[in-house]
Amino acid sequence: MVDGTFIIEKSVVIIVVFAITMIMAMYSTWAERKVAAYLQDRVGPNRAGWGGLLQPLADGMKLFSKEEFFPNTPNKFLFVVGPAIAMSTALMTSAVIPWGDKLHIFGRDVYLQATDINIGILYIFGVLSVGVYGIMIGGWASNNKFSLMGAIRAASQMVSYEVAMGLSIIALLMMTGTLSLKVISEQQSEWHWNVLYQPLSFLIFLICSFAETNRTPFDLAECENELIGGYHTEYSSMKMGFYLFAEYASMFISATIISVLFFGGYNYPGMSWMVENAGVNPANLLGIAVLFVKICFFIFFYMWVRWTIPRFRYDQLMNLGWKILIPLSIINIMITGIVILRHDIAVYLGF
């Protein structure tokens, strides 16, 4: 099974996915400014290139050419490792995401997924939980009180929302019966999107993804008026850029996961008709386009929320996580269980 072409095929898929993640993260920074400008009735970046399209490149140039500053810390190595972990975990998640069903190229079916492991969702959770280290190690190695406070805030927030996130996913998994993202996408063909069956689970998952990516209503880790800059106060130049970039990359990835888990992934109504009438390749290319439309909508949604809802207070954040979202998701699990076993229960009760 493992032959040369297989390795080449997978390498191409991996490199393309990597490039797309980077480009999407890059243009998310541009989109964030544009969306912010639009919501605040401003113009936004419009000097570098048409409509400011070269702005991300200019930003990158600026970050690279800035002075590399090291704070007075005994842990120079860990100081560098922090952003590296943040960046690599943000990019690792995309390995299990199915970007499309398959393409028929050179007489072979190319599956548009880097790897299909049967623990796909757990893999994502594992990588997410490792991502906390990037923030914690970076914040601690900065040798600065505010950085440490920011790091601890970020980490405790991520750890507590991971619980609710995992529980909300369990209800979904009870329905799908698999952890493989490929199978979950296939189950949602046509209009059988999971969001229609599990709206509560989707809502909890969405809120938790905001917390996991440290985006605004939950960006207490870097609230300027209390903690200066949060865990990346002491960072400058490209190390700072890595943290920011990791944030946008993980925003892209979490938008992708939401679309794949709840909004049918690459499926669109009439896909099987397209496969029959227009061929495999056009139908699946359209599927990829549809997936990216969904992703872009969710990225826009992230930004929309950022400029609409003010930040929570820290105790409100923890109350929301532990006292509202976790009980809600447990109730959701119970309801899902009852609905799945409704026939057995009816038989047991003698109907």
Partner 1 sequence: MIHIPDFAHATTVQVIFCFLAFITVITAFLTIFSRNPIHSAIYLVICFFSIAGHYLLLNAQFLAIVHIIVYSGAIMILFLFTIMLMNLNEQREVHRPRITRLGAIVSFCLICVVLIAIFINSKPIVGEYDSTGEDFQSIQVLGKILLNEYMVPFEFASILLLVAMIGSVLLSKKEKLNK
Q: Give contact residues for partner 1 (rule: CB under 8 A).
A: 78, 117-119, 122-123, 125-126, 128-130, 132-133, 136-137, 140, 148, 152, 155-156, 159, 162, 177-179
Could you tell me the smallest distance in angstroms from the CB atom of residue 27 to partner 1? 30
Residue type, 142: S
Which residue's CB is nearer to partner 1, number 165 or number 303?
165
What's the min distance (Å) between Cβ of 156 and partner 1? Answer: 7
Considering the complex, state which of residue 132 and residue 295 has its C-beta at the smaller distance from partner 1.
Answer: 132
CA dist list (Å): 54 to 23, 31, 65, 115, 139: 12, 12, 17, 33, 31
CA 219 remoteness from chain centre: 15
Helix (H) or strand (E) holding 32: helix 4-39
Q: Between 39 and 130, whose beta carbon lies closer to partner 1?
A: 130
CB-CB contact of 231 with 222 (8 Å)? yes
Query: From the centroid of its chain, how far is CA 37?
Result: 24
Nearest approach in angstroms of CB 308 to partner 1 is: 31
For the bound state, the minimum distance from the C-beta of residue 122 to partner 1, rounded and expressed in Å, comes to: 5
How far is it, in rounded angstroms, from Cα 15 to Cα 18?
A: 5
Rg over alpha carbons for the chain, rounded to the nearest Å, is 22
Closest contact distance (angstroms) between CB of 137 and partner 1 is 7
Residue placing its CB nearer to partner 1 in the complex, 45 or 139: 139
- Angstrom distances, CA of residue 235 to CA of 130, 156, 222, 245: 21, 21, 13, 13
Query: Based on CB atoms, which residue is closest to partner 1, 74 or 107?
Result: 74
